[in-house]
Amino acid sequence: MTVSKPGVGIAGLGLISKTHAAAYKRMSDVVDLVAGCDVNPEATAAFTAEFGAKTYTDLQDLIDDPRVDVVDLILPHHLHYDAAMAVLDAGKHLILEKPVAPTYEQSVAIQRRAAEAGVHFMVAENSRYIAAYQAVHRLLREGAIGEVIHARTYLRSNEKAHLSMPGYWRTQFKLGGGLVMDTGAHSFYLLKWLLGEFDELTGVSKKVFPLDNEIEDTAEVYGRMRSGAHFSCGFTSVSEVPHSERLELFGTEGGILVDQMSDPVVKVFRGQHDFLGEAITEVPFGPDAWHPGGWHYESVITEVTDYVRSLVEGRPPLIDSGDTVYAMRVVEAAYESIQSGKTVTLPA
Ligand SMILES: NC(=O)c1ccc[n+]([C@@H]2O[C@H](COP(=O)([O-])OP(=O)(O)OC[C@H]3O[C@@H](n4cnc5c(N)ncnc54)[C@H](O)[C@@H]3O)[C@@H](O)[C@H]2O)c1
């Protein structure tokens, strides 16, 4: 299916919607940003002032707008399922921010409904579009480090201001809050994409900084991939370093180190005496994550661009949304382990 000059409506005009909107603006020759929706009048007023687009406070009104061909859902997690189903029931194209939905069952249902509806569906998981990880994917395919036997990810952010806001959805489990829910979705997707399925895991979480909310600010999830590789994923939302990510892969013939705070961002090492390693120069150094040129910002721009171009060109987007659904199975298993204190085996 191809759609020429689709009209996009964004639902949820908060933090990350700004980057989605910037991507649509950059592509104004192929897409029209026609509407926005938010329950917060300040957010809708700012959106109208910047884009001159119509705004709504009710999602169904945005969906029913005949100029809206694509709905971009950028909402708090507990709203993802109902909102996605409403878009799909209306037969509109859907781009949905990660995590797909708070439960694996809901995530599967959304993906299935999207297939039934025959619309262009993509989960916006920016990890697939981070230049460093694209380089790593290529290096693994080329066999640069042999077989991966140990993988580590580390996501560090500082959400102290957000997570101190009384009533903010990210501070409550029932609204889809939780560090592993929010950021585990990224790391588990990344490992699924690069290395395949998970076999078993153990999760531990802590609250190490005294904010008045119920969610964890630090977590570790580790275990075994089905390939036999050991993995370990670390998360913190209270770090006093810039928002950044690390990935370390150790293979039978070498290793790859990725750190968004290091220049070069990606280095390949071949053996214990390879002290200098090989810098992967195709990956730009852009440590200011949330601004133009930053590793995160540019990945979201590339992600939204791929969604629109794939719709217009009638091809699938680069990302396999099934992997983002799978990541929610791993998120669920991680919380099961955190709560039970036991290792959890994932079904094949
Ligand atoms: N890819 C990434 O790295 C990344 C980064 C940030 C956020 N996200 C994802 O984007 C989504 C939104 O996160 P955010 O940080 O922008 O959150 P946010 O809290 O900044 O924004 C959410 C917006 O939704 C609005 N809203 C709440 N209920 C609504 C309703 N019923 N109808 C319409 N609008 C409603 C809020 O008023 C707010 O403006 C989440 O799924 C999050 O995980 C992804």
pLDDT tens by residue, 118-138: 999 999 999 999 999 999 999
245 within ligand 1 shell (Cβ under 6 A) = no
Q: Residue 88 above 70 pLDDT?
A: yes
Residue with the smallest CA separation from ligand 1 atom 24 is 12
Compute the average pLDDT of residues 79-89: 98
Average pLDDT, the chain: 97
Query: What is the 142 CA–ligand 1 centroid distance (Å)?
Result: 38
Distances in Å between the Cα of 333 and the Cα atoms of 51, 126, 184 are 41, 22, 11
344 within ligand 1 shell (Cβ under 6 A) = no
Residues in Cβ contact with 311 at an 8 Å cutoff, skipping those fewer than 6 apart: 1, 2, 3, 6, 70, 93, 120
Residue with the smallest CA separation from ligand 1 atom 28 is 39
Phi, psi of 278 (to 5 degrees): -110, 120
Q: Residue 4 above 90 pLDDT?
A: no
For residues 179 and 170, give the distance between their C-alpha atoms in angstroms, rounded to a whole number.
Answer: 9
Burial 294-311 (b: 16+ CB within 10 A, else e): bbbbbbbbbbbbbbbebb
pLDDT band at residue 3 using 50, 70 and 90 as cut-offs: confident
Q: Residue 314 above 90 pLDDT?
A: yes
Query: What is the 179 CA–ligand 1 centroid distance (Å)?
Result: 15
Ligand 1 pocket check: which of 20, 39, 159, 168 to mutate, most ligand atoms within 8 Å of Cβ? 39
In single-letter form, the type of residue at position 117 comes to A
Compute the average pLDDT of residues 267-292: 97
Q: Residue 158 above 80 pLDDT?
A: yes
Rounded to 5°, angle at Cα 81 from 95 and 101: 80
Query: What is the 254 CA–ligand 1 centroid distance (Å)?
Result: 40
What pLDDT is stored for residue 148 in this prediction?
98
Compute the average pLDDT of residues 221-239: 98
Identify any residues that bridge with 344 across adjacent strands, giving them in sequence order.
201
Query: What is the 9 CA–ligand 1 centroid distance (Å)?
Result: 14
What pLDDT is stored for residue 86 in this prediction?
98
115 within ligand 1 shell (Cβ under 6 A) = no
Q: For the residues of 274-290, what is the DSSP string, one character each?
A: -SS-EE-TTS-----TT
Query: What is the 251 CA–ligand 1 centroid distance (Å)?
Result: 37
Query: What is the 178 CA–ligand 1 centroid distance (Å)?
Result: 14
Ligand 1 pocket check: which of 97, 106, 299 to mutate, most ligand atoms within 8 Å of Cβ? 97
Judging by DSSP bridges, how do beta strands 255-259 and 244-251 pair with one another? Answer: antiparallel
In single-letter form, the type of residue at position 225 comes to M
Compute the average pLDDT of residues 163-184: 96
Query: Helix or strand or coil: residue 95?
Result: strand
The answer to pTM > 0.85 is: yes
The answer to whether the CB of 170 falls within 8 A of the CB of 159 is yes
Residues in Cβ contact with 98 at an 8 Å cutoff, skipping those fewer than 6 apart: 123, 124, 125, 126, 185, 186, 189, 324, 327
Tokens at residue 207, please?
């609250």
In this predicted model, what pLDDT tens digit does every residue of 194-219 receive, in sequence order?
Answer: 999 999 999 999 999 999 999 999 99
Identify any residues that bridge with 233 across adjacent strands, giving them in sequence order.
153, 221
The answer to whether the CB of 310 falls within 8 A of the CB of 316 is yes
Query: Helix or strand or coil: residue 11?
Result: strand
Give the DSSP letter of residue 235.
Answer: E
Q: Residue 294 above 70 pLDDT?
A: yes
Instruction: Name all domains of the chain by residue range, CATH numbers in brackets.
Output: 7-124 (3.40.50.720), 128-299+327-345 (3.30.360.10)
Residues in Cβ contact with 315 at an 8 Å cutoff, skipping those fewer than 6 apart: none
Largest Cα separation within the chain, whole Å, is 63
What pLDDT is stored for residue 1 in this prediction?
66
What pLDDT is stored for residue 146 in this prediction?
98
